[in-house]
Each structure stands twice: as C-alpha cells, then as structure tokens.
Amino acid sequence: MRSEAGAKHRHEVTVGRNQSTTFRVSGRILLLLGALACVHPAWAAVTEADFLDELPVVLSASRLSQPVHEAPAAVTVIDRDMIRASGFRDIPELLRLVPGFSVAYTRDNTWALGYHGMGDAYSRRLQVLVDGRSIYSPHFGAVYWTDLPLSIDDIERIEVVRGPNAAVHGANAFAAVINIITKTAAQVQGSSVSLQAGEQSMRALTVRQGGGDAALRYRLTASAREHDRFERTVDFKTAHDNGQYFEAGKTYFVNGRLDWQLTPDSDLMAQFGLSQGDWRAGRAVVSTLNQDALIEPREQDSRALYLQLAYSKVESAQREWQLQAYFARNRFDADSRADLTHINPAFGVSLLDQYLLQTRSNVELQVNEQWSPDLRGVWGGEVRQETVSSPHYYNTGKTWRGELARAFGNLEWHAHDRVLLHAGAMLEYHYFTDFDVSPRLAASFTLAPGHVIRAGVSRATRSPTFFEEHGNQAYYQESGALLDIFTVPSDGLEPERVLSRELAYLGVWRPARLEFDLRLFDDRVDNFIGYLRDDYVADGTFRFREFKYSNIGKATSRGGELQLRWRPTEALDVGAHYARVFLDTNTTEPGFNQDIPRSAPRNNVGLLARYRLGHGWETSLFVQNSSEQKWLTPGDITEAFTRVDLRLARRWKWQGYELDAALVGQNLGSDYQEFRDTNVFSRRVYGSFSAAW
C-alpha cells in the first residue's frame, strides 16, 4: 500500500560453533572498527536526531506501516546500502545477514534456506513474497530463486519477519516471512548498464531503462548471467562417484514495471517478468565395476513468467484500500537416458522425463482503516488457485488443482502512552486441510524513550504441498515398462502446526549510537511432516519400503537472537547478529530424532561493516561463522565454517555518467561445504562495473 522511503540501514551478522575462535576473530575486527571510528573526524557530524530519523519503518509484520520497534514481531530490514555493501549477487545469500538463518546452494540450480533449523532442500516452512506476490512452489514448497526474473539491483529492501506470521500472510508463513520490495519506476529513471565477471565462469550483464512523466513512469530490466557454483573436481565421500561434479547455469530474464498515477488519490501498478534457464547440473555416477550406471550432468530447461496488477485508492485520511491480482507460471524440463543392462539385463534402458508445470492465480483485497488516533487496523481477503502437472513426480498425466480462500484482520491499539497492543487472525480454507485459524496476540511496553519490551504468542499452520500429499515418483524403461517407484502418495496429511512464544527487548543506546534487538523464542511444532521409508500396497501389488510423507511427531526450537547496528560516524556503519538455537524432537522415526536436533547450527554469527574512505571510495567486510549442522532430506552433515568476504568500491561522476566499480573477494579463507559434503565453495574473486545516465 504505502511506500516507505524512510527504510534505512539495518546490518546484521552471524557466529559459530567454535566459540573461542569465533570471538577471537570478531574481537579483532571490532577493535579495528573502533579504531577507525575514533580516528575519523566525522563523529560530531551526525546528530542524535539524524540517528533516530533513520530507524526503519516496516510493512510486513502486520500490513500496517509502523516503526520497527512498534511491530508485533521481530523484523530485520536489509536495505539498499546493505545489499550493495555485501557484494552478494544471488538473492538468497542476502539472508546470511539475518540472525538464525542458514543458507546453502543444494544442486540443480536450487537453494535451501532454514530458520532455526528444520531446513531441507525445499525451504517449505518459509513464506516468500515479491511486492506482495507469493513465489513459493505449490509442488515442492520450494522457491525457485535461480529462475526468478528479478535483478538484485532492482531490490529496494527486504523485510524479514523472524517467526511465524500466519495471522498476516497465511499458511507457509510458518517459520518466517521474507518480503522483497522492489524499486518503483520513479526511483530508476534514466538508463544503466551493469557488468560482473570473475572466477567460476561468472559472467553477468544487466541493462535497465526507466522513463515517463510525473503521472506515468516505467522501468524495464533485462539480464543475462552464467556461473559455476562449486569446484568441479572434488574428493567425493561416496564410493560410486568419480570426482567430476557440475553446477553450471545460464539464466536470461526481462521484467518491467509501470506506475500510473490515475488521479490524485488513486494509482495503478503493473508488473511482468519472463525468464529462461539453460542449466547443466549433476555428476557422473559409476558402479563398483567401474562402469557407467547413470550419466550426468543433465541439461535442464527452466522457464517462468508472471503478470501482476495492483490498484490502490485513498478514500480519506482514515481509509485506503488495494486490490491486487497476479498470475505466475513455472515450467521445468530435464531428460536423461541411462543403459543399465550391464548392472542387470532386466533393467534395460531407463528414461527419465522430469517435466513439471505449475501455476498460481491470485486475487487479494486489503483495506487499511484508522478509526481513532489510538486505534487502527487492516482487514481483507484472498482467493487462489494452484495447479501442478508432472508425469514423473505424480505417475499420471493428470493436472492437480486446488483452491484456497483467506480472510484476515489485524488491530493496533495504543492503550496507553507506554502500552501498545496487537491482535490479529487469519481464517483459511485450504484444499488439503479444510479450515484453520491462525491467531496472534502481542503487547509492547515502553520502559523509557527508545527502550521497548515486547511479548507475543501466535499459532501458525503449514499445509502439505501437492508432492507431499500426492507424490508418486516413478521410473520407466525405454519400452514403457515400470522400472521402479520411488515415492508413493501419503495416507492423508494433517497440517503442521506451531505454537510460538517470544519475549523481546528493543533499544537504542543513544550516547553510543547503537541500536539493538534481543529476542528469546520458544516454538513447538506438532504434526511434523517427514519423508520416510514405508511398505506400500497399491492395486494388489506390495512394494517394500518406498518413500512416503507422513506426520511423524513433534519438534521444539528454543533459543535467542541478538542483532546490533552501530553507526558512530557518517563513515562507519556496522551490523552484527548472533543466534543460538536448541532443538529437540519426539517423533516415531529414530532417524529424525537424530537429525532434527542437529539441523540448526548451535551458534551462528555474522558481521557486515562498511567504511567510507572519502572521494567516493568505500570498503566493506562480511564475516560469517556457523557451527556444524545437518540439512534434512536429502542433505548431509556440513562442517563448521568461517567465511570472510572483502569488497573495495568507488563511485564517481564523469562526463554526465554515474559510475560504480567494485572488486569483491568471497570466502578468502578455507573452502567450506554447502548442503552436501560434495558441494565445495572455494575462494573466488569477481569485479563489477556499472554506469548510469
């Protein structure tokens, strides 16, 4: 609804398992930053008013525009300056700046995200939005970040609600909400071109054009990118790998945005995006007889598109509303052929067609109202249809369809000068789980100006995906005969449910120019959906120990998070975060009882610091230290790691052009593993250059 140009810097950090090493490294970094702050003459140039004016305003926690210390849930804001200073070029990596998040590239050009553990290859427990458009997959529940037609340079900020928020955003807002807010057309007028090149075959070109007049403005962006994520030759841990591994991809996209001021009190926003991925991923797997059993990499073709319209109207100072509709379509195709006769003549030649088509159509109404100076709220509803089709994953040519409907409401009441109360709920009908209610209550108490305590309790659900409910992954011979069934349909799943409690302290220590956010949490999950082996009988045929999704029990996540932001001078801006998580389970599956408690790093620390050197020069430092963790199906135990990135950049003007050049070194220390023990992320360097006019 309202754009918040006042959302400013918010920097975070991450620490790890070997605490003595972690704090020794972090301590040296902080001593260096402190020295820079003391010697720089600009200390007196920043006033207290400047500092307080830059505290961010957020929309994602309750659909109400509010300062972050008045939000009913913990929110981290990743702003434009943080995005630039990080040097990251992949959008998921920006979540490394948020306390409690684990980020890893899996394979096949996909990413895994976990918040407080329980993360797997599909990130099924997160709601991800782009300008209010939900982008998680109805098939796996995953987010296809790689074919998302969005340039990281077009992102204005990212608001991350840390904790369940189903009362506002419905099912899938189970562990956290990631709301990506892009730049308006008015923010990117003129032309620009951006290039990146570096190691691991990294190449990227992005061009953007913005124009129009005061009433009608547009933005058009096109991009082409290629890269390898990991080292291609590694020492594999399994007996059947020959040491050649590939994760190479080329992705092309175009997107556009139109902002039209229809009348002084109404406007229309229209967006579209198209992408195509030409990817190669996989490995060559050999049998114990040193003969090829399955040849990869596979060629993968991915195509995505979306269309989005949003009409907003301000009826009065007390009421405004927005009607939004969008359509999204994702298609993925990957074929392979393997001759298995040397293993067993009965196996013959196997054909694999991983065709997958999924769509989402959505209409949503949101109404914001101010009933009195102390009481305001937001209410609305949403209807959605989702479809999935894949002969390989569902063993049928059928297109699965499902409809859901939602009604929501949230209130904010200033009961006293020091007391702020929040109440909200979402009533949702889902095509698999029928009706559910997700309520939330929160209360904030101001101890003194700049110091707030917040307590909250909420319930959230996560409905099963199409694949969890109906997945029937099958493999066929070239003759058409059934070779094997890998996954079978569930027996009917209950939604996962979480009861979340939190206690937070948000403060501003003005003499030190320090902002901090301390949060303690206790999340209890029921009906956890796990992927397990089970005997299966269909059409009178007994199949021994096939994979199947099932509700297997409970999981509990407890711990604390701390995020800091320190701006002692105009030149120095530091963000840091730390998360400590304890997981416990009580499930029917011994494997999950072992893996879930290890699925979150016990300690996770990070730091992002930026220092302006003068004359357009600046440098930034990113440090992350994470404990060992176990990624759930189909991930591995990945070792503890420390990652250090450095960036040196300069902005200047020449002949009417605004120029920006940077040199970025990523993971300048030892190699580390991502998601699987074979995914080796090594040291790499890239350069970037952009021009705008």
Q: Does domain 19-692 have CATH number 3.40.50.300?
A: no
* Over residues 36-43, mean pLDDT: 37
Question: What pLDDT score was predicted for residue 60?
Answer: 95
Residue 8 in this model has a pLDDT that exceeds 70: no
Domain residue spans of the chain:
19-692
- What is the C-alpha separation between 421 and 377, in angstroms, rounded? 12
Residue 149 DSSP SS3: coil
Tell me whether strands 190-198 and 176-182 are parallel, antiparallel or unpaired: unpaired
Residue 518 in this model has a pLDDT that exceeds 90: yes
CA dist list (Å): 65 to 1, 134, 377, 410, 502: 9, 20, 11, 12, 22
Question: What pLDDT score was predicted for residue 32?
Answer: 40
What is the 3-state secondary structure of 333-345? EEEEEEECCCCCC
Average pLDDT, the chain: 87
CB 462 within 8 A of CB 523: no
Question: What pLDDT score was predicted for residue 7?
Answer: 35
Beta-bridge partner residues of 440: 424, 458
Side chain identity at residue 477, one-letter code: Q
Tell me whether strands 126-130 and 176-182 are parallel, antiparallel or unpaired: parallel
Count how many residues are written for the chain.
693
Which tokens is 56 given?
A: 């961010």
- Predicted confidence (pLDDT) per residue in 628-655, tens digit: 999 998 889 999 999 999 999 999 999 9
CB-count exposure of residue 535 (10 Å: 0-12, 13-18, 19+):
exposed
* Over residues 485-507, mean pLDDT: 95
3-state DSSP helix/strand/coil % of the chain, to nearest 5: 10, 60, 30
Question: What pLDDT score was predicted for residue 108?
Answer: 72
Which tokens is 290 given?
A: 């040193």
Side chain identity at residue 513, one-letter code: R
Beta-bridge partner residues of 26: none
Question: What pLDDT score was predicted for residue 536?
Answer: 62
Closest residue by Cα to residue 258 from 210, 218, 225: 218
Give the model's confidence band at 349: pLDDT under 50 very low, under 70 low, under 90 confident, else very high: confident
- What is the C-alpha separation between 350 and 479, in angstroms, rounded? 9
Residue 20 in this model has a pLDDT that exceeds 80: no
Q: What is the dihedral of CA 469, 282, 143, 229, to 10 degrees?
A: 160
- What is the C-alpha separation between 91 and 182, in angstroms, rounded? 12
Question: What pLDDT score was predicted for residue 594?
Answer: 93
Question: What pLDDT score was predicted for residue 17?
Answer: 32
Work out the number of other CB atoms within 10 angstroms of the CB of residue 336. Answer: 16
CB 197 within 8 A of CB 686: yes
| DSSP 8-state secondary structure symbol assigned to residue 446 | E
Beta-bridge partner residues of 324: 310, 364
Question: What pLDDT score was predicted for residue 538?
Answer: 58
Closest residue by Cα to residue 639 from 649, 626, 658, 655: 626
- Predicted confidence (pLDDT) per residue in 121-180, tens digit: 888 999 999 999 999 999 999 898 988 999 999 999 999 999 999 999 998 899 999 999
Question: What pLDDT score was predicted for residue 350?
Answer: 78
- What is the C-alpha separation between 11 and 98, in angstroms, rounded? 8
Give the model's confidence band at 287: pLDDT under 50 very low, under 70 low, under 90 confident, else very high: very low
Which tokens is 401 given?
A: 């369809």
Residue pointed to by tokens 């907003």:
312
Which tokens is 21 given?
A: 């090493």
